[in-house]
Structure formats: structure tokens, C-alpha cells
Amino acid sequence: MAEKFIIHPCGPLKGEIGIGGAKNAVLPVLAGSLLTGQPCVISNVPNLSDVEYMCELVESLGGFTAWNRNQGTISIDTSRLTKCEAAYELVGKLRASFLITGPLLARLGRARVPLPGGCAIGSRPVDLHLKGLAAMGAEIEYAHGYVEATAQKLQGAKIYLDFPSVGATENIMMAAALAQGQTIIENAAVEPEIVDLANFINTAGGDVRGAGTDTIKINGVKDMKGTHHSVIPDRIEAGTFMVAAALTRGDVMLTNVMADHVKPVTAKLKEVNVNVNETPHGIHVKADNCELIAADIKTLPYPGFPTDMQAQFMSLMAKAKGTSVVTETVFENRFMQVGELKRMGAIIKIESRSAIIEGVDKLTGTQVCASDLRAGAALVLAALVAEDTTEISGITHIDRGYHLLDERLNELGACIGRAIEA
Ligand code: UD1
């Protein structure tokens, strides 16, 4: 049954919060485990519905997964893959499932995967993924809404990405891990999740060099072995809690976070007048004695400001003194939160790919709807400081990417309940 959040305004958030494993790192690593016929153990796995869908997908191909949610580990064994075709119902639930294309093709010589449809944050095509696989010798056919890729043996190739797509870099890197010869990806994505996937491939016997730079060289190996891999902390979950602390004028210590990975968010929070300090224990965000001031942001591939933090930052700017401009350059149509924030009293005008925000003294609670994961998180943050009660529907989107966001914010002093939607 669908649930909604009921959020009452709270005072400053205070306390310590441990950040979970990164959703955007564990999903490609689970896809990558299809490359090896030997058992793998993945740890620091966040308890998210997206992870559950990815495990279902691996099982639908004949793989075995055992998820110990208390320990945060998944044991995965894909020694007996029986299918190279992904079910539409599963791929429709989870766009990242398209990442199985490269590994399946490399391991079994064939992959038939539904084309991911449009989604709430733009059309999100997969042309770069497929161009890369084609350059490695795959034959690509489209029929009945599916992509079918076949190749007896993928061959290493030099691939230049028109845009440093995270997903395309991951798919090509995985396919290249078992290809014959060397693949070079130029203008590759440099996100920390790419480095995490490369580390996984390397500990499983692959040979990937240069991940984290814009040129990645992959020397194909004949086969790969089992491994144990611990997923990096989630920089977007960390950023969301940092903004929550700032917005409520709180004092919060974040642990299990990589300071380097949240640098773009830290830099912006400092510009907004919030104290952020890296300590040996974690990242300390202290905003109890400051006036929030306007700042402009422009989303960019890493190490620029992450598009996945744009919506949450906009909630902060909605209450900051002055005028801010938020420009989204990574996805078209990623301002889904704007209409709902306006219903809460924010003053925001969209002009093409920018949103112009006039900070207001008060936001007011009302009924709003989460249209996607990060837009939903932005509404939760705004509701923490809005007058009266806010009801947020569509929270399955939020549960896809944040483990019990309500309970974890409550541990810091928020007042969020869950109720069944009428
Ligand atoms: C990943 C993240 C997502 C994040 C995004 C950008 C996962 C599971 N998801 O998504 O949370 O917001 O990176 O940091 O890791 N594009 C093309 N052709 C392609 C592929 C992408 O034109 O073949 C375009 C997209 O439409 C988009 C841009 O490139 O405008 C960035 O997309 P990409 O980096 O591929 O994002 P995802 O991997 O889908």
C-alpha cells in the first residue's frame, strides 16, 4: 500500500549520523558480478528497493543472491547463468538495470535488454552505451522495444564518448574487461562510482587502469574470479544530510563519508555561510549561528556540483537571503520539485535550464507529491523548516534511494511520520 510522509516543522537537527553505502556504486557492482562465474561478496550494501530490484534481475538470469540486510552484505553467485534476456517488468523499475548489457554480452556473447523508457528527469537515452559496444564489434539490433547485442568475442577498441556519461562508461568498462585486447575510453566519466567499479573489476582479476581520469584503459582478460568488495559511502545521501543540517540551522556530524567526494557540496555550503569542517571523526556541519545567503550553482559532471544534489540545494536556496540561480546542465527537465516547492511558498521562476530563486522568510506546509527520488528528498528538506504540517505522497521514489530517510532524520530531531495514503 502506498505510504506518505507527514512532516511537522522541527528545530535545529543535532547529533551524529552514519552514511550508508552508495546506491550508484552498488548497482553497477552487482551488474559487474555477472562478469565472473565465481562467487562474490559485496559489503556496505545499502538497504534500498533499487538494490532489491537489481538482485531480482540477477536471479531472473539464473544467478543466485543472498542478502543479509543486518550485515549489509550480498553474496552473489552467477556461475550458472541460464538467460541473457532481461524481463521488461524489472528493467522498467530500475534504469540502472541496463548496465547488465555489457557484462552479459561479454560473458555469454548475447544480451537482450528492454530499452529503458523516458523517465521523470528527461529522456535519458542509451546511445553512448550502444555506440561503445558496437565499436567493440557487437552487432546491435532493435526490435519490439528491446536492444539485442551479439558478439562472438568483443574486441578492444578506442572509444570517445561525446559526453562523459556515467552509465556508458560503466557498461563499456565492464564489457571491455572480458574483451580481446585493449579498450581505451576517452572523455570517460570520472565519478567516484566509476573508480569503485574499476576497483571491483580489478580485485576480481580484471585489468582497468586510469579510472577516475578521463582516459580509462582496460586490458581484457580471459576470465575473472570471485572477490570481496566493500562499496564506497553514498556522497548524495551525505550531501542531503549536510543540507538538512544547514537548512534547520543545525549541528550535525556525518561519519562514514569521504570528504573528497562531497567537496563540491561542502564548497557551496561554505559560500552559503555554513561552517563545514573535516575532522578525523567525520564531516561536521554547523549552521546554528549563521544567516543563510544566496549562491548560484551549475550542475556538471564530477567534480562539478552533482545533479543529484540540485533539488535539495534548491530547497536551501528557497530560504536563503537574496537571489540564487540554479542551472541544470546534465539532464533536461530536472526541475520537477519546483512546482511543489512553489506550493509551499517558495518563489522560483524557471528560464530554460535555469531556476531563479528569491529566498523567502517562511515556507508553509501543504500536500505535495514526490515525482522522483531527489525531488522527493528536496520536499522532505523544505518540510523540515516549513510552518505547519506537510504531507508528501509518492514516497516510494524516496525509499528507492534513501534507507529510512524519515527515521534517520528523526534520530537527529526531525518529526516525520509515515501513514498509509487514503
Ligand atoms: C547516473 C546516476 C544518476 C546521476 C547521473 C549523472 C546511477 C545509477 N545513476 O545516471 O543518479 O544523476 O549518473 O551524475 O549511477 N546520455 C546520453 N546518451 C547516453 C547516456 C547518457 O545522451 O547513452 C545523457 C543523459 O541523457 C544525460 C547525461 O548524458 O543528459 C548524463 O547521463 P549519465 O551520466 O549517463 O547518467 P546515468 O548513468 O543515467
The rounded percent of the chain whose pLDDT value lies above 70 is 98
Task: Give the closest residue (by CA) to ligand 1 atom 11.
Answer: 308
Q: Which of 115, 37, 135, 21 is nearest to 74 (CA)?
A: 21
Which residues form the pocket of ligand 1, taking CB atoms under 6 Å from any ligand atom? 24, 27, 96, 122, 124-129, 163, 165-168, 189, 193, 307-308, 330-331
pLDDT reading at 125 higher than 90: no
Helix axes 166-177, 192-203, angle to 10 degrees: 10
Q: What is the pLDDT of residues 151-193, one digit of tens each?
A: 999 999 999 999 999 999 999 999 999 999 999 999 999 999 9
Quote the pLDDT of residue 94: 86
Residue 119 among the catalytic residues? yes
Residue 122 confidence (pLDDT) above 80: no
Check pLDDT > 90 for residue 123: no
Query: Which of 119, 290, 369, 415 is the catalytic position?
Result: 119
Distance 310 CA to ligand 1 centre (A): 15
Ligand 1 atom with the shortest distance to the CA of 127: 23
Ligand 1 centroid from CA 164, angstroms: 9
Protein residue with its CA nearest to atom 1 in ligand 1 = 166
Taking only the tens place, the pLDDT of each residue in 192-234 is: 999 999 999 999 999 999 999 999 999 999 999 999 999 999 9
Distance 124 CA to ligand 1 centre (A): 7
Output the CA 413–ligand 1 centroid distance in Å: 34
